[in-house]
Amino acid sequence: MKAIHQYHVVPRLPEALVRLKTLAYNFYFSWHPPVTRLFQRMNPQLWDECGRNPVLMLGRLSQERLEELAADSGFVSEVERLGAEIEAYVLKVNVTEHLGPLTPPGTQIAYFSAEFGLDECLPIYSGGLGILSGDHLKSASDLALPLCGVGLMYRKGYFHQYLNADGWQQESTPVNDFLTMPVEPVRDQDGRPFTIHLDLAGEDVAVIVWRVKVGRIDSYLLCTNLAENSPSVRDTTDQLYGGDREMRLRQEIVLGVGGVRVLEALGLNPTVIHLNEGHSAFSILERINVYKNRYDLSFDAAREVVTASTVFTTHTPVPAGNDVFEPGLFLKYFEPYAAQMGISPKVLLGYGRINPRDDQEPFGMTTLALRLTAKANGVSRLHGRVSRRMWQNIWPRHPVEDIPISSITNGVHIASWISPEMHTVFERYLGPGWMEDPDNVRVWEGIDSIPDAEMWRTHELRRERLVAKARVHLRQQLQARGAPEAEVRAATEVLNPDCLTIGFARRFATYKRAVLLLRDVERLKRLITNPKSPVQFIFAGKAHPQDHEGKEFIKRIVHLVREEPFRRRVVFLEDYDFGLARHLLAGCDVWLNNPRRPLEACGTSGMKALANGVLNLSVLDGWWDEAYHPDLGWAIGHGEEYDDPELQDHIECQDLYNHLEQDVVPLFYDRNHDGVPRRWLAKVRQSMRRLCPQFNAHRMVEQYAREFYFPCSQRFLELTANDMAGARDLAAWRSKIMVHWNEVKILGVEAERVEEKMVGEEVDVHATVILGALEPGDVSVDLYFGLMSTDGQFLERETRLMAVESVQDGAYVFAAKLPIDRVGRFGFTVRIMPGHERLMNPHNTNLLIWASGEAP
């Protein structure tokens, strides 16, 4: 039986507590412990039962309890203080003096992501990509950056994990009740839900919008779950990464096309759009369509505006992880769209193909993003190199080092991931303002002032809490599985709060090699049973529902932990999420990461552990490849990459055990007379002092702002000024370049022929160039030079712009001085590319001439 009408009952907050609503509906609470403690104080048990969800808890508190709290002058005073604090925080602008003045006036950034991980009470994320997106918004808020988020509001979110009696992963998908979460519907002037409309393969689809407040930042989440939509499209935003390829295509249309329309309808006109992974790349097409039709621009002129103001971050180091759609499926949704844009379907398909002339090639979202963005990056230095190799064929005449994909290494929002105990320590020794400037090296020098005894007591307390949490968690999962009572009772005795604790918690993707330790069970047995210096391991993580090999990894670990002597020293905790991660990251002593290099794009969990004083033991992949130093942690291997996975696993398993037996365990148990491991703590201090200022989200967001957002915003403002005059001019210039490029030739290059030069000297280089109908200002003639290998290949390269020195018989002579500033084997050549003061990414013209006729 269904009700004929539904309504939502909300708590009647006493006047003295009305600011609780402001605190509950802003994720500011997720990184400000005093706000969390305030809600916890209202009813500690209910707070835990509600999964740290302040809105749900307010709805479940009795009216009597609310009245009691309103009569508590101390509680009311704290509500007023924290309410005033968040109001002052939201109103404060340009927090960082070194960033604020650089912001071009009128800048507005829109950050698109398919998932946002802000806290466990909003489960619309699956893993690292979503957590990164959440951290990005939080740091953008702390930095008062003019940014908003755009994503999808999933009715079911990601799955819960539980194991059957055999240890095989099962999935359940809970339904999100948005009315009990810290989100609110956006409403129009009449108070009705704010709605936009999309055409999905000829069907009109209504989309509503939810607002999530993240400090100063508003994030807009789109949802198609409306009764007025047909069941087939109503389910588009049903589940994160759910459904078949057509469902994924519809999701990405709603995110990209719908996201742009929402911003338009709300009166927000971004000067920069940041695509966090390729899922939202259709926003590029919608913005081109908007500018073309609104300002009566040609497709080419509209494309110039949009490309100049779009940045793209790729996260996936394997081709299979990038979304592609078969041409027929793509055209089902986009053939009429191509007509609106004024281009043929084949041309539109070409933007998503590595080879635009291959009619059989699928349409790729990453390819679309790379072709039509001004700036693109990987998420670590190593991942940047991997990405340049992966996507080199989009720019076939460019050497791999010149592929226009840079790197900005990820960071974590430290205040969101440190334990309450560590937060208190930081307040005391780093200063109360440490959260506002966590990328300041001077701030982290305060780590040295923390007494060893206090640092160690703090960590031991957190390890004790982790062990207690693990026991409760394990007991609950065994009871849910119907395990024998003896096994359930034994769960209360697993792990030792005084034992060296190593954590491995992440997605159980096979390349992360969760079972690497299990390759040598005898050495593992010796480690955990050593009576003087025992070791224990905690595993957690989910396998993708279709990843059966990942599920086999989980099953192998679960079977192992049921055997003696592993039962008490190795555990697997089900349903790894935000909350469980906090306990593991704070309570472990060592964070283990052993992916198959170079398949880990970044791996931010180790950064979160770092901020909690946990040491990293990791393969030199992702962020650890650039962060590692022997004083700061341990490296598995030396950065080798193997053709034989079996050989790699064998070698790196042995190296992992060697580190544990010879380095990690002895250092941890090396105690002074008062039981404090001073040499261990010295390593902890060094790792925090040297790495925390670099590997945090404030540094990451500031780097995006300086290198991507601000230059692109400035270029957008220039192109759109004076009724889009700059865009029209740039499009006309590009057309001229495309028509006349075949007239450009390098007739010759002259330089002093000396086989040996001294450091500090220079070499004059001249290039004679024919430009045909083009002018010197239409091209960039570059001296291209660098360190060479013995077989004549560039190992490094630099460029120096060459200037016109003279004109001879219709040919231009360009000149530059080649600097000789290092010892070694060096070489040079000359390169010509299109050049225009308003052109952000000349590589995307795919026009290039080398002096030799070939790429070096």
The pLDDT, as a whole number, for residue 56 is 96
pLDDT tens column, 428-469: 999 988 998 899 999 999 999 999 999 999 999 999 999 999
Residue with tokens 């609106």: 340
The pLDDT, as a whole number, for residue 752 is 80
pTM over 0.85, yes/no: yes
User: Could you give the angle at which helices 678-691 and 452-481 cross, rounded to 10 degrees?
Assistant: 90
Which residues pair with residue 819 across a beta bridge?
762
SS in 3 state form for 345-376? HHHHHHCCCCCCCCCCCCEEHHHHHHHCCCEE
The pLDDT, as a whole number, for residue 283 is 98
Task: Check if the beta carbon of residue 344 is closer than 8 Å to that of residue 408.
Answer: no
Question: Angle CA(396)–CA(398)–CA(399) in degrees, nearest 5?
Answer: 110
pLDDT tens column, 647-695: 999 999 999 999 999 999 999 999 999 999 999 999 999 999 999 999 9
The ranges of the chain with pLDDT < 70 are 1-2, 4-10, 93-101, 754-755, 760, 853-856
The pLDDT, as a whole number, for residue 157 is 75
The pLDDT, as a whole number, for residue 855 is 56
The pLDDT, as a whole number, for residue 150 is 98
H-type helices in 504-616, by residue range?
521-529, 548-561, 578-587, 605-611
Task: Check if the beta carbon of residue 115 is closer than 8 Å to that of residue 157.
Answer: no
Q: Would you call 90 helix, strand, or coil by DSSP?
A: helix
SS in 3 state form for 630-667? CCCEEEECCCCCCCCHHHHHHHHHHHHHHHHHHHHHHH
Give CA separation, 796 vs 393, 402, 792, in Å. 20, 10, 12
pLDDT tens column, 620-657: 999 999 999 999 999 999 999 999 999 999 999 999 99
24 closest CA partner among 158, 154, 184, 140: 184
Residue 174 has what DSSP assignment? P
The pLDDT, as a whole number, for residue 101 is 65
